[in-house]
Structure 1
Amino acid sequence: MTTDEGAPVATFSVLGGSDVQTLLEGREKDVIEQVLAAYLTHHAGGSVNPDSYFLRFPEKPDARIIALPAYLGGEVGVAGIKWISSFPGNVARGEPRASAVLVLNDYDTGRPIALLEAAGISAARTAASAALACTVLSDARPATVGVVGGGVIARTLCQYLHAAGVPLAQVRCHDLDPVSAGALTRHLRERYGSDAREGDLAAALDCDLVLLATTAPVPYVSADHRFRAGQLVLNISLRDLAPETLLAADNILDDVEHCLKANTSPHLAEQLTGGRDFVTGTLAGVLRGEVACRPDRPVVFSPFGLGVLDLAVGHWLYRQGLEEGRLMPVPGFFGETRRW
């Protein structure tokens, strides 16, 4: 945008949650493509992805708000930050556990250009990452799927797996909250015609494809548990598995340095062994043919969740919103747009 004199005018826009959801609907494959491209750009060194920053509260030990700053180069060329809260206590009130916003910054000026409601973006990029991993790391279509955790992330994971061609014919759902497990089960039956059933933890962990989508702060799956050869475990929530379980599997991460922090299961495995030999490689390494998993072992994919993925999906949504006229401009947002 320019003034009558031709000087550039700084603009700022908002993309609300309802528009984000509308733009995401039915475009799962597009989101997966954005995540794939972001992984490869990150792998090639075309990004800056600092550590996430955790704001915790002494009187709310299970709650946190996390800042994920990042820059993604390549065809995206945008910086930004996701500010996402996780308040598990909301679930008992029937409210979403997580809420988030994403700020996009113009790489040329550093100026923020948009604010996006990002709970849906965060869930979509997480699910797209999992669906991509499933198609890359599994040679066979799973006959059974076990889902541990019955929240928004689990629901979105199933949505993206279905879009990626992963069958949801036989699903076993487990959650400590029977209401959540029942809601997910009914959703899978109604939307996908799945023979979804509620079951215990053991039944879910025994499936060909296992999705871990909980809020567990520490491992609860026994240190004696071993997955069988050919099983694929999408360790989305990162802290469900004892480190001993990981040591008996091939371990694929999204980013080694990021994942081996904050007492994730892979971080615990590093502390237990004193090294990183248990890490097989990264998903981008597999995509590029630089890493291969062994057929005689299970595979565990542990994604820490990179801010560059939020930028990739957020910037794509920003462009879509601009094309469809969904951005809400905020006139006069910047107090000064000229230095003098």
Structure 2
Amino acid sequence: MSQQPVVPPFAVITGAQVADVLTGGEEQVVDLVEEVYRLHGRGASVNPPSYFLRFPDRPSSRIIALPASVGGDRPTDGLKWISSFPENVAAGIPRASAVLILNDHATGYPFACLESSIISASRTAASAALAADRLSRGARPRRVGFVGGGLIARYIHRYLEATGWSFDVLGVHDLSDEHARAFAGYLGGRPGDAPAVVHDSAEDLIRDCDLVVFATVAGAPHVTDPAWFAHNPLVLNVSLRDLAPEVLLASANIVDDVEHCLKADTSPHLTEQLTGNRDFIDGTLFDVLEGRVELPSDRPVVFSPFGLGVLDVALGRHVHDRLRESGRLGVVEGFFHELDRYGR
């Protein structure tokens, strides 16, 4: 006789707990992200389009719903609900906030609610570190620049550092001189003797670096000249909207998921609208992992990750399980109340 499904206990997981599990485990997170990309590429996931909640009275702000289901050894369903309110920065609080709901694969019952800004930043940074490693042609670049000096840039640097990257120089450019210098100060305080250099313009940074990371809140392209990339750097287009189509058309382009990335006026989406086709896309990161794409040496390589909800769900499940195994999971007793069909 098959075992009857049971309602799982419901846990609330704080940001402090998430950080405690993930800090120091960056290499394991990168391995997990690679595993999920492979599951997704092989069809062992469900990752429908993200839903954008926008506001006529707050046009720069949005809240995004990312539903997803990931298979593998620990199949899990879930939803990330993440807000982006850029005006928060001027008020001294982070731009983004998020929660992640995990659902039991057998019953559909939610079994955890996690603070998810750290999960979101970690999976973004792990994806960037994985891509930087697998898309490097030859030796890893050592002159690394960040356009945008916020939390995502900090996490990407942390994941590069934790996965063995060495730096000759670290460049920073931000529209806010205060933020640029603060991030440069953070980088300068990290182990190693690589100088952190603040650049007055994105052009100067791009021309000076072999790995360029875009981590901004730009809503429209502001980098338009392919000549800035004449030295053929590797570009992590994490914020997705900084690069004009002209730059992408002069580059080799790798995305995380074609259908997801070519929407919402991302740089690849604008390029598709301009050209009327997707011929400029050379493949996905899964294709690279599987050895299906040969990267050219005579053009820049641009990685544009839209950000897949399956990564959040898998990483959230990882955090949940580590806390459960260590006896630190905070369960809310009696969270589900109506559990009898007839109220007996």
| TM-score of the aligned structures, taking structure 1 as reference length | 0.96
Q: 234, 237, 251: which one pairs with 2:236?
A: 234
Aligned residues: 335
Conserved in 2, the CA contact under 8 Å of 1:50 and 1:70?
Answer: yes
Question: What's the secondary structure of 1:146's corresponding residue?
Answer: strand
- Identical counterparts, % of pairs: 55
- Secondary structure of 2:60's counterpart equals strand
Whole-angstrom CA distance in 1 between matches of 2:228 and 2:196: 24
Greater shift, 90-99 or 168-177, is seen at: 168-177
Give the match for residue 10 of structure 1: 8
Structure 1 counterpart of 2:312: 310
Once the two structures are TM-superposed, the CA of residue 228 in structure 1 deviates from its matched residue by 2.9
Q: Distance in 2 between matches of 1:44 and 1:251?
A: 21
Question: Partners in 2 of 1:277 and 1:9 — Cα distance?
Answer: 48
Computed over aligned residues only, the root mean square deviation of the Cα atoms, in angstroms, reads 1.4
Residue in structure 1 matched with residue 29 of structure 2 by the alignment: 31
Q: 1:188 to 1:236 in 2, by over 3 A?
A: same
Alignment-derived partner of residue 3 in structure 1: none
Letter in 2 for 1:74: G
Name the residue aligned to 1:217.
219
Per-residue deviation, 1:292: 1.7
Q: Give yes or no for the alignment of 1:150 onto 2:152.
A: no
1:228-280 residue CA offsets vs partner (Å, 9 max, x unmatched): 35410000000000001000000000000000000000001111111011000
- Deviation readout 1:129-160 (Å, 9 max, x if unpaired): 00000110002221211100010000000000
The letter of the residue matching 2:179 is S
Query: Is the deviation greater in 201-210 or in 84-93?
Result: 201-210
Match of 1:48 in 2: 46
Cα distance in 2, alignment partners of residues 19 and 87 from structure 1:
24
Amino acid at match of 2:203: A
Divergent runs of 4+, >6 A:
none
The correspondence of residues 54-65 of structure 1 with structure 2, limited to 5 A, is 54-65=52-63
5+ residue gaps, structure 1, are 1-5
SS of the equivalent of 1:45 reads coil
- Measure the CA separation in 2 of the matches of 1:55 and 1:42: 25
Q: Secondary structure at the match of 1:81?
A: strand
CA shift for structure 1 position 9: 4.9
The letter of the residue matching 2:219 is P
Give the letter for the 2:307 counterpart: G
Whole-angstrom CA distance in 2 between matches of 1:157 and 1:104? 25
Aligned twin of 1:175: 174
Structure 2 Cα separation of the partners of residues 7 and 184 of structure 1: 50
Distance 1:227 1:311 in 2: 35
* Residue-by-residue CA offset, 1:35-78 (whole Å, 9 max, x unaligned): 00000000000000000000111111110000000000112300
Q: Is the 8 A contact 1:255 1:304 kept in 2?
A: yes
Q: Which amino acid aligns with 1:212?
A: F
Note if contact 1:146-1:203 (Cα within 8 Å) is conserved in structure 2.
no
Checking the alignment, whether the CA contact within 8 Å between 2:260 and 2:306 is kept in structure 1 is yes
Tell me: CA distance 1:57–1:195, structure 2 relative to 1, closer, same or farther (3 Å).
same
Deviation at 1:332, TM superposition (A): 0.9
Q: Which moved more, 1:127-136 or 1:156-165?
A: 156-165
